């Protein structure tokens, strides 16, 4: 089997509710569908989320990178040759989500060729597993955020929530207290999106500990090494690395500096190959891994869900597998289902998803 083409389709899906965070707000998700075609008639699919304010990648840059660099490097090669995949991709710097999506699409393709789900392809056992889902609650008024988490809990049984903070400390404190009162048994963690200096971070983390927040994601900027090390060693709750942990090399640096206690593995930016590399670092250094969200549609949710379900370490913590619940549409024939707080993961070949071409056409952008 040989790769014959890589196809891209940019699409936009509005959010049902805008996601506010420390530096702004997100009203839609702008992703790129990547399809890897072969001479055997099989096609692997994945999506690349564009996040220019974090990764510097736009839909246009992802499409151009695939067309100009990555398709020429892969067409004519064996899709099972994943050992050399990232060596080929890394001849071009950066472009993490474009590379990650190609990796995921190739694994979807391999799963289809072998008749195995990606979970099984990654080494997951025979029993079907439903990963526990986390819901990401964007920044708004305390009352609105409480209403949002209560509604999600009632509708889907989700009892793990990531709460965006970092705009106004007094409002953060009120929000966390109200959410804890409303859902006393829920797993709560916060995401500061790198908004704090070291002193404010330590103060806010002490407040978080008082209301039972279990960890805090990126309170300080990833380039502020002194603040990160200080907060990592003296903060009141464990620190989860995200923007600082985009590659295995960055994860190794954060661990060596003593900045983090946990790592958010986002398969959208590291594919399955590099995500397993990061998981290996976590195992070696007793760092807890969890599966994060890149603002995925149903395609990315399923890709992340398979990785989460395949490994004991990632199954141990709730994963951000419910972003699609906040989308006004989806491009799949059957969007992911969440029941009793857990993602219903298909066990069909590959990712187990199918694109609805009519929906995709309606959401496609130039």
User: Active-site positions?
Assistant: 164, 191, 217, 242, 266, 294
Interacting residues of 26 by C-beta distance below 8 A, sequence separation 6+: 15, 18, 19, 138, 295
The Cα angle at residue 251 between residues 193 and 88, in degrees rounded to 5: 110
- Residue 63 tokens read as 């499409």
What sign for the dihedral angle of Cα 282, 309, 295, 81?
positive
| 361 exposure class (CB count in 10 Å sphere: 0-12, 13-18, 19+) | exposed
Residue 110's CB: how many other CB atoms inside 10 A? 21
Alpha-carbon distance 119 to 352, whole Å? Answer: 10
- Per the CB < 8 A criterion, the answer to whether 59 and 40 are in contact is no
Alpha-carbon distance 139 to 244, whole Å? Answer: 21
- Per the CB < 8 A criterion, the answer to whether 44 and 356 are in contact is no
């Amino acid at each position: 089997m040989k790769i014959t083409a890589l196809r891209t389709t940019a699409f936009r899906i509005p959010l049902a509710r805008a996601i506010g965070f420390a530096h702004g707000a997100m009203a839609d998700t702008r992703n790129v569908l990547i399809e890897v075609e072969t001479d055997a008639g099989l096609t692997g699919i994945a999506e690349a989320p564009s996040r220019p304010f974090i990764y510097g990648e736009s839909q246009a840059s992802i499409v151009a990178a695939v067309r100009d660099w990555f398709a020429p490097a892969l067409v004519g090669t064996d899709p099972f040759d994943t050992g050399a995949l990232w060596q080929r991709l890394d001849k071009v710097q950066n472009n993490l989500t474009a590379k990650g999506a190609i990796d995921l699409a190739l694994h979807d393709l391999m799963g289809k060729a072998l008749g195995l789900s990606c979970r099984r392809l990654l080494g997951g056992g025979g029993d079907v597993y439903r990963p526990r889902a986390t819901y990401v609650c964007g920044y708004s008024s305390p009352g609105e955020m409480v209403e949002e988490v209560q509604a999600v809990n009632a509708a889907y049984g989700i009892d793990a929530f990531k709460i965006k903070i970092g705009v106004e400390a007094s409002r953060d404190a009120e929000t966390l207290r109200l959410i804890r009162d409303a859902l006393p048994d829920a797993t709560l963690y916060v995401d500061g999106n790198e908004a704090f200096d070291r002193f404010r971070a330590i103060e806010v983390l002490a407040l978080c500990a008082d209301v039972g927040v279990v960890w805090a994601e990126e309170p300080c900027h990833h380039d502020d090494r002194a603040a990160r090390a200080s907060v990592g060693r003296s903060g009141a709750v464990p620190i989860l690395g995200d923007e600082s942990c985009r590659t295995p090399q960055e994860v190794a640096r954060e661990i060596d500096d003593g900045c983090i206690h946990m790592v958010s593995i986002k398969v959208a930016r590291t594919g399955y190959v590099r995500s397993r590399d990061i998981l290996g670092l976590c195992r070696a250094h007793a760092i807890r891994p969890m599966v994060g969200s890149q603002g995925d549609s149903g395609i990315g949710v399923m890709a992340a869900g398979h990785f989460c379900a395949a490994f004991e370490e990632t199954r141990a913590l709730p994963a951000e597998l419910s972003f699609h619940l906040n989308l006004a549409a989806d491009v799949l024939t059957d969007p992911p289902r969440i029941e009793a707080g857990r993602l219903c993961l298909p066990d069909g070949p590959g990712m187990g998803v199918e694109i609805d071409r009519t929906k995709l056409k309606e959401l496609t952008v130039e």
